[in-house]
Structure 1
Amino acid sequence: MVTVTSLKQPLKISATQLLINNEWVDSISGQKFATVNPANEEVICEVALAGAADLELAVQAARKAFSEGEWSRVSGSDRAVLLYKLANLIEEHQAELAQLETLDNGKPLRESSKIDLPLAIQCYRYFAGWADKIQGKTIPLAKDFLCYTRHEPIGVIGQIIPWNFPLLMQAWKLAPALATGNTVVLKPSSYTPLTALKVGELIIEAGFPPGVVNILPGFGNTLGIAIARHQDIDKLAFTGSTDVGHLIMTAAAQSNLKQVTLELGSKNPNIVFADTDLDAAIEGAHLGLFLNQGQCCTAGSRIFVEEKCYPEFVARSIERAKKRIVGDPLDPRTEQGPQISQIQFDRVMHYIEAGMREGANLQFGGSRVGNRGFFIEPTVFTEVQDQMTIAQEEIFGPVMSITKFRDIDEVIRRANNTKYGLAAAIWTQDITKAHKIAHHLRVGTVWINCYDVFNSAAPFGGFKQSGIGRELGEYGLREYTQVKTVTVKINQ
């Protein structure tokens, strides 16, 4: 048990070990690693470091639970009851989890408590509702035959979640996998293991049988790759960078050809027309880029503004950025906290330097805030050209790039001129124009006159190198089942 006493209300952290087969255990090696508060660069606590030997035990537990344990006999309605219990327990611990998420990740408490936790709870409840409704079809053949399909769980699922939305990404992965009857070995990010482990405590309290959910904190270049290569893991779900996604998919293909879903990086276009409600577009673009310190795969980092309203949009966006409150993420007034780590801080600063070096106009920001913690000013570049590094590569930080366009055909072509295809937004009062552009954009999600609107019922995923497969909704549910056809001769 670790108690963080520097907070207004001391926070007790009890889950710092590995969760295997419903037991809290140290790693076989005995190794631990430190998880750091990015707001002050201080160690919060040490967490057990999982390795290959621990992974073997977790996979064995998950396999036994799936094939011969209690979970293999649990009905869909029983799975729903457990998922609803888990959602209720997370809701009961909402304030504690929000504080823990902010402490470990650095995101403002207002976002942890008002965005991450409500969406995570909604996700568990949404998929709980599906658990007893997973069904196949009957298929008419010749009159002497009955043909039907079954949607069956895949088996043992390996899941690797990122550090930018730890609780929410855990929910996106666990909820559909459990609703469909699979068992899970989950690796949280080594930057943000604490809320994943706390949810592990609640999973046990909810009554999930041993081996159903196993949680192994560890490093991506060792444990993550080992999960991808493991011969007895039937499917892998990964959220992270495109570069790592390539490595994960290669490792999975070279092992047992396990099924893979990937939610990867992007460089999302946010298109603003002069006929829009400019107040809404400016605020939408601001939040669409700076939310979570810009550490969002959906960040609207390429803002295309029609030239007729470009000067006004730029001037007002700069003023909005200047008013953004950067500081202690536990302060309810704070809008922007620190980047997750020194590595990410250095990466973002490198991109800011590249933008200035390549001729983009730095209008505001671009510097460190304070001398403790990984804080960066909200940064606004204008006159950004499509070939510039900051217009091509995913920055994953609070760096806004604004460029102008003349007509629809031009902006569609430029918006699609990227290897990515995750999300986009269109701001206009002309709904016909909005639909036309939405149909031509090569992305998985398009928002019209809004940004970052998520619901567990709406599928999410990317085109091109932004990923494979879908999460959330009925489409996301399908990623965790396989179809079996059964044909019976009925006339003997």
Structure 2
Amino acid sequence: MVSTVTRAGPTIPRTHKAIIYTNPQSLDTAVVDVDTPQPRAGECLIRLTHSGVCHSDLAFITNGYAHMPEPTPSGQIGGHEGIGIVVSLGPYVDAVAVGDRVGVKWIASACLTCSACTQGFDGRCAKRKVAGFKDPGTFQQYIISDPRYVTPIPDSIDSADAAPLLCGGLTVYSALLKADCSPGDWIALSGAAGGLGHLAIQYCNAYGLRVLAIDHGSKRDFCLGLGAHVFLDFTQFDDAGLAAEAKRLTHGGCHAVLVCNASSRVYDTALDLLRYAGTLVCVGVPELDPHPIANALPWKLIVNQYSIKGAVTGSRKDSIDCLRPAAQGQVKAAVRLEPMNKLTEIFHQLPRVYEADASDVDLAVDAAEAAFPAWSDLGGFERARFFYRLADALELANSDLAALEAISMGRPVGQYREAINGAALLRYYAGKCTDVQGDSSLQTSGFVNVVLRQPFGVCAGITPWNAPITMMLFKIAGACVCGNTIICKSSEKAPLTALYLAKLIKQAGFPPGVINILSGKGTPCGDALARHPRIRKISLTGSINAGRAVKKAAAESNLKNVSLELGGKSPLIIFEDADLDKAIPAAARSIISNTGQVCIASSRLLVQSSILKTFSTRLVAEIEATGYNPESSQGNPLSPETLRGPQADLKQYDSIIGFLQESKAAGHEVLTGGGRDTRHGKKGFFVQPTLILNPGDQSRISREEIFGPVQVLATFQTEEDAIRRSIDSEYGLYASVYTRYGPSFRGPDTLVILQ
């Protein structure tokens, strides 16, 4: 590396390392060399040693903030909370000296002379610079800054601890100023154990405020250990109960509420936690909820003299003041140190959801049991109204759900139709609400026999990751239109759309407890559902092994009713008289759609031997045209132009590649594909759409479900041969046939074993 020495400080390289966002709306980053700038008049150069990373960075890189209409550009250097050492000064600088340790925050500079700046609202300055968004941020080794605007770091604060305080600490400190509380006042903190919340607890203690911490029960000890005075487990109460308990614990309500997370539920109930003339301070932003404070009715604000304020990252003065409690040892952020070249990996770790366990299942069962009597007593027309409202909301949310599913499992947003199809499904079931009828007969002399259809009670559903909304809606609608209540567990691989669906269900007005959605793993959450003695029926869509586990657990507990939809190795039979113009595109789409992660994908092709050459040649061309070209057809699932995304995760990718490697080692003929798709280098879990010819009916690749873009192609001579080989499988889910003479074909009767 070529270096230069300045008169003002140590050796400074002419270039330095920076991390840039390489693909807007994705989490991709790259380490690049950039020119080291020289400070001009009124500027200083800082050698950065630490930079915080938070959810705002994630929102910038994915354009997740709806109020910021301009997308983050490719090549942007991110980061907005950095600590470093001043190494060089431009002319006319006396605010800092070489060797000073300083911080750079989100608002990196402002004019300091306009009306906004002079009133302390420098974040609204028209000339402000925003680090990491439009202007170079702190994910680099050197940064130019305005010496009047950097924050001096007290000697007693470690740089690793100081960096997050210039974002999270500054945010909650400025929010507390907006709350306008006095020592001894009660303040409620939602999301109290989170990144903002755990800092807010400590700041409240530093200024003599009493804290009501609101979070999940598993965070009780953590919050109380930080100094919260009382703790409220939000999972134990409905909205009215939560407000009542908060007022009991605080002897009449809180003087202020800080919403430190993006919970729509807390926003809905926040005003009810306040005492007279209390203040709600909005910090976390529920971006996808247009009306988060649902009960902010004018009469309520007037009669109770409530105030609602918003808090953003504080001013230059606030950044200095917020470090004082930390310098005195009263505030310390929970941090984890990582090298900056792991930034992409860190971004992937940031989106986390709560993992439900057996205790959460108990709470959900309690809620479902409590809701069952009133829900089952409703007439069919009344129940139908809820589903029609949910269908309308689901259609409007299609783009939001598409983005969440792209993030969770890689389905391209342009290919997403689950919300639209789900809305149609809900309307169908809503129309069936009045069709739940019994039966009667006079077959027994002297008696009228009456059969009544009664709801089970509390039901459970366990859904897969490959079509999370569709499968969950099937289970919810089927159970609830008949008067049951339900608990659904989403897959741990794709929990985001299910949690968004829960918000839509609440907005549609469903009574609390009728539909309960948990995010968790098969063990302990799924196992607890299958074994729970108060759940009367369970439905699973998943693998054969999962089906066996659920059936075993149900049998060992209360012998609950079990419905299973399991995996498939679905055959597609193509006879010599078939219309190949229809059969070939259908065969290709079947295995390319959702990258083959579909239980009814036609992964086994049985083609009459007389047309093998024509069929295989045309199918290879179709697969390569659909799966490989143009270049833009594969890639970032958040891009509308992408037609084919990656596999859901590394585990799924490794499993598919393992099958392909085993097949090639066995000498099977690969007609196209056969390995990793390298058009994106080493990025992404991309697998080539693959067609393998005659690997043998007993080979593992012919017999086991792969759940990827892999088809095996075999030949048959006669109709009887095709049927025999089709049903030679442990799977029994789906089969299809292409022939011009369906009415005379005996297949449907013979293939009934597959249903």
**Class of the TM-score when normalised by the shorter of the 2 chains:** 0.7 to 0.9
What is the 5 A alignment of 1:262-273?
262-273=564-575
Deviation at 1:43, TM superposition (A): 3.7
Deviation at 1:428, TM superposition (A): 1.1
Partner amino acid for 1:436?
R
1:355 aligns with 2:663: yes
Aligned CA distance change for structure 1 residues 215 and 427 (closer, same or farther; 3 Å): same
1:65 aligns with 2:361: no
**CA–CA separation in structure 2 for the residues paired with 1:40 and 1:315:** 45
**CA–CA separation in structure 2 for the residues paired with 1:111 and 1:28:** 39
User: What whole-Å deviation, never above 9, does each CA across 1:236-256 have from its counterpart, x for those lacking one?
Assistant: 100100011101100011000
Deviation at 1:400, TM superposition (A): 1.3
1:52 aligns with 2:358: yes
SS in 2 for 1:78: helix
Q: Is the contact between residue 5 and residue 11 of structure 1 (CA under 8 Å) also seen in structure 2?
A: no
Q: Is the contact between residue 160 and residue 188 of structure 1 (CA under 8 Å) also seen in structure 2?
A: yes
1:440 aligns with 2:717: no
Which structure is higher in RCO with an 8 Å CA cutoff and minimum separation 6? 1
User: Could you tell me which residue of structure 1 aligns to residue 561 of structure 2?
Assistant: 259
User: Could you tell me which residue of structure 2 aligns to residue 237 of structure 1?
Assistant: 539
Aligned CA distance change for structure 1 residues 319 and 124 (closer, same or farther; 3 Å): same
What is the 5 A alignment of 1:8-47?
10=65, 27-30=216-219, 42-43=348-349, 45-47=351-353
Q: Is the contact between residue 376 and residue 455 of structure 2 (CA under 8 Å) also seen in structure 1?
A: no
Q: Is the contact between residue 58 and residue 185 of structure 1 (CA under 8 Å) also seen in structure 2?
A: yes
User: What whole-Å deviation, never above 9, does each CA across 1:470-490 have from its counterpart, x for those lacking one?
Assistant: xxxxxxxxxxxxxxxxxxxxx
**CA–CA separation in structure 1 for the residues paired with 2:346 and 2:704:** 28
Deviation at 1:143, TM superposition (A): 6.7
SS in 2 for 1:304: strand
Q: Is the contact between residue 27 and residue 49 of structure 1 (CA under 8 Å) also seen in structure 2?
A: no
Deviation at 1:40, TM superposition (A): 11
Deviation at 1:420, TM superposition (A): 1.1
1:216 aligns with 2:524: no
Deviation at 1:430, TM superposition (A): 1.5
**CA–CA separation in structure 2 for the residues paired with 1:185 and 1:48:** 16
Q: Is the contact between residue 109 and residue 330 of structure 1 (CA under 8 Å) also seen in structure 2?
A: yes
Instruction: Name the % identity.
Output: 37
User: Could you tell me which residue of structure 2 aligns to residue 4 of structure 1?
Assistant: 59
SS in 2 for 1:48: coil
Partner amino acid for 2:353?
V
1:121 aligns with 2:429: no
Moved more, 402-411 or 316-325: 316-325
From 382, 403, 406, the equivalent of 1:78 is 382
**CA–CA separation in structure 2 for the residues paired with 1:289 and 1:280:** 15
Partner amino acid for 1:426?
V
Partner amino acid for 2:531?
R
From 449, 468, 471, the equivalent of 1:147 is 449
Q: Is the contact between residue 289 and residue 300 of structure 1 (CA under 8 Å) also seen in structure 2?
A: yes
From 450, 466, 469, the equivalent of 1:167 is 469
User: Could you tell me which residue of structure 1 aligns to residue 619 of structure 2?
Assistant: 317
User: What whole-Å deviation, never above 9, does each CA across 1:117-146 have from its counterpart, x for those lacking one?
Assistant: 222111111110001221111221567544
User: Could you tell me which residue of structure 2 aligns to residue 298 of structure 1?
Assistant: 600
TM value normalised by structure 1: 0.82
Moved more, 182-191 or 322-331: 322-331
From 392, 410, 416, the equivalent of 2:727 is 416
What is the 5 A alignment of 1:381-396?
381-396=692-707
Deviation at 1:330, TM superposition (A): 2.3
Tell which structure's C-alpha radius of gyration is larger: 2
**CA–CA separation in structure 1 for the residues paired with 2:540 and 2:215:** 25
From 427, 431, 450, the equivalent of 2:738 is 427
Partner amino acid for 2:388?
Y
**CA–CA separation in structure 2 for the residues paired with 1:416 and 1:125:** 36
**CA–CA separation in structure 2 for the residues paired with 1:372 and 1:41:** 15
Gaps of 5+ in 2: 1-54, 68-190, 193-213, 221-343, 628-632
User: What whole-Å deviation, never above 9, does each CA across 1:375-406 have from its counterpart, x for those lacking one?
Assistant: 11111111221011110000000111111111
User: Could you tell me which residue of structure 2 aligns to residue 477 of structure 1?
Assistant: none
Gaps of 5+ in 1: 18-24, 32-37, 445-462, 464-492
Equivalences, count: 424
From 508, 530, 534, the equivalent of 1:228 is 530
Q: Is the contact between residue 409 and residue 649 of structure 2 (CA under 8 Å) also seen in structure 1?
A: no
Partner amino acid for 1:109?
V
SS in 1 for 2:746: helix
User: Could you tell me which residue of structure 1 aligns to residue 288 of structure 2?
Assistant: none
Aligned CA distance change for structure 1 residues 11 and 144 (closer, same or farther; 3 Å): farther
Q: Is the contact between residue 634 and residue 644 of structure 2 (CA under 8 Å) also seen in structure 1?
A: yes
Q: Is the contact between residue 39 and residue 337 of structure 1 (CA under 8 Å) also seen in structure 2?
A: no
User: What whole-Å deviation, never above 9, does each CA across 1:190-224 have from its counterpart, x for those lacking one?
Assistant: 11111111111111111111111111111112111
From 560, 577, 582, the equivalent of 1:275 is 577
User: Could you tell me which residue of structure 2 aligns to residue 90 of structure 1?
Assistant: 394
Q: Is the contact between residue 188 and residue 215 of structure 1 (CA under 8 Å) also seen in structure 2?
A: yes
From 635, 644, 651, the equivalent of 1:327 is 635
TM value normalised by structure 2: 0.54
User: What whole-Å deviation, never above 9, does each CA across 1:152-186 have from its counterpart, x for those lacking one?
Assistant: 11110111100000111111111111111111111
Q: Is the contact between residue 377 and residue 483 of structure 2 (CA under 8 Å) also seen in structure 1?
A: no
**CA–CA separation in structure 1 for the residues paired with 2:638 and 2:345:** 9
Deviation at 1:11, TM superposition (A): 6.4
Alpha carbon RMSD of aligned pairs, Å? Answer: 2.4
Moved more, 120-129 or 321-330: 321-330
Aligned CA distance change for structure 1 residues 144 and 356 (closer, same or farther; 3 Å): same
Deviation at 1:189, TM superposition (A): 0.5
Aligned CA distance change for structure 1 residues 4 and 320 (closer, same or farther; 3 Å): farther
**CA–CA separation in structure 2 for the residues paired with 1:292 and 1:40:** 26
